[in-house]
């Protein structure tokens, strides 16, 4: 690659470069070619230099493949360490974006990239994170198998490494044959933790007959709790007879009676009101207020009754 011009505009370092006239191997057949079909420009973003973003305008060639047995007639050249097919970032910058997504996910990765002069939205960071290929999981020594409810009565199967507690495989349904096929293709499982499902027991027996099948801690406690509850419900009558009735507690020594209350000003005031009401009641007077007589009597027509 030959650099032709470098300048800075708007806080961005811009570089113009072009590829050299070298022989490039065809990506399909591997035969070298230097016969140029055409040229086109690519705009690449690279890691920041001196706190400023870097843009590279690269002129690359499209070459003919002269091999008679190759189905590809033309191909675009790639600069090692700088260009990747259909990529607008350099491999170094792309790796930086992917690592930010792996370490900090969406919002955190976008904030870090903003500091590194790589403005990306959290959605773009998550997109690059989801496009990363998953690492191949090693066959665990202790495998955990359990089901989970997707929705309603639809279940799935989850395989977990019991030593590291990391998920390994996930698929829909609870199928013994599918579990057996996975165990055959991943030999080396010595112990399998499972629940009480007969489907999983059959799949483990078919796929890894030498593996030891054990119940995991959750289902052990669940089974023990259920068994203790059943036993307690069966012998409920025996428990009432076996347990003696507790002795009644003695009354407190300072209590004068069931309605004993402390002598306070509020209680004395309430007692005086109580005695005043009863004194009026004992005289036979009506405590209900009477309506006041009207000032004007209605006119009567006709002789008095």
pLDDT of residue 101: 94
Q: Tokens at residue 14, please?
A: 């811009």
pLDDT of residue 305: 46
For the chain, the maximum distance between any two Cα atoms, rounded to a whole number of angstroms, is 140
**Three-state SS for 225?**
helix
| Cα–Cα dist 189/179, whole Å | 12
Q: Quick one: DSSP state of residue 24? A: E
| Cα–Cα dist 15/9, whole Å | 11
pLDDT of residue 232: 85
**Three-state SS for 63?**
strand
Query: pTM for the whole thing?
Result: 0.56
Cβ-Cβ contacts under 8 Å for 86 (sequence gap 6 or more): none
H or E, element range at 98: helix 91-115
Of the chain, the end-to-end C-alpha distance in Å amounts to 132
| Cα–Cα dist 82/91, whole Å | 6
Buried b or exposed e, range 181-199, using 16+ CB within 10 angstroms: ebbeebeebebbbbeebeb
Mean pLDDT by 10 residues, the chain (305 residues): 90 93 91 92 94 94 93 92 92 95 93 94 94 85 91 88 89 91 93 90 93 89 90 80 71 54 82 86 70 55 49
Phi-psi region of 118 (alpha: psi -120 to 50; beta: other; left: phi over 0): beta
């Amino acid at each position: 690659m030959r650099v032709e011009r470098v300048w800075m505009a708007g806080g961005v370092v811009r570089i113009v470069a072009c590829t050299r006239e070298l022989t490039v191997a065809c990506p399909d057949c591997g035969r070298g070619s230097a016969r140029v079909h055409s040229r086109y420009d690519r705009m690449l973003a690279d890691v920041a230099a001196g706190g400023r973003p870097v843009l590279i305008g690269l002129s690359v060639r499209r070459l003919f493949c002269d091999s008679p047995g190759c189905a590809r007639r033309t191909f675009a050249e790639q600069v090692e360490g700088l260009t990747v097919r259909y990529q607008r970032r350099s491999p170094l910058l792309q790796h930086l974006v992917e690592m930010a997504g792996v370490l900090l996910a969406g919002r955190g990765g976008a904030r870090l990239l903003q500091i590194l002069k790589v403005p990306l939205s959290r959605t773009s960071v998550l997109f690059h994170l989801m496009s990363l290929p998953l690492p191949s999981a090693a066959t665990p020594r202790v495998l955990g198998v359990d089901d989970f409810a997707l929705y309603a009565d639809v279940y799935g199967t989850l395989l977990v490494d019991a030593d590291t507690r990391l998920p390994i495989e996930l698929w829909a349904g609870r199928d013994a044959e599918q579990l057996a096929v996975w165990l055959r293709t991943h030999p080396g499982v010595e112990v399998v933790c499972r629940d009480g499902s007969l489907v999983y027991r059959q799949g483990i027996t078919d796929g890894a007959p030498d593996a030891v099948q054990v119940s995991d801690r959750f289902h052990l406690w669940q089974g023990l709790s259920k068994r203790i509850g059943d036993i307690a419900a069966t012998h409920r009558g025996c428990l009432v007879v076996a347990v003696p009735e507790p002795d009644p507690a003695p009354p407190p020594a300072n209590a004068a009676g069931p309605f004993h209350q402390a002598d306070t000003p509020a209680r004395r005031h309430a007692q005086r009101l109580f005695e005043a009401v009863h004194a009026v009641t004992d005289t036979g007077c009506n405590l209900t207020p009477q309506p006041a007589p009207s000032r004007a009597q209605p006119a009567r027509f006709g002789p008095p009754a």
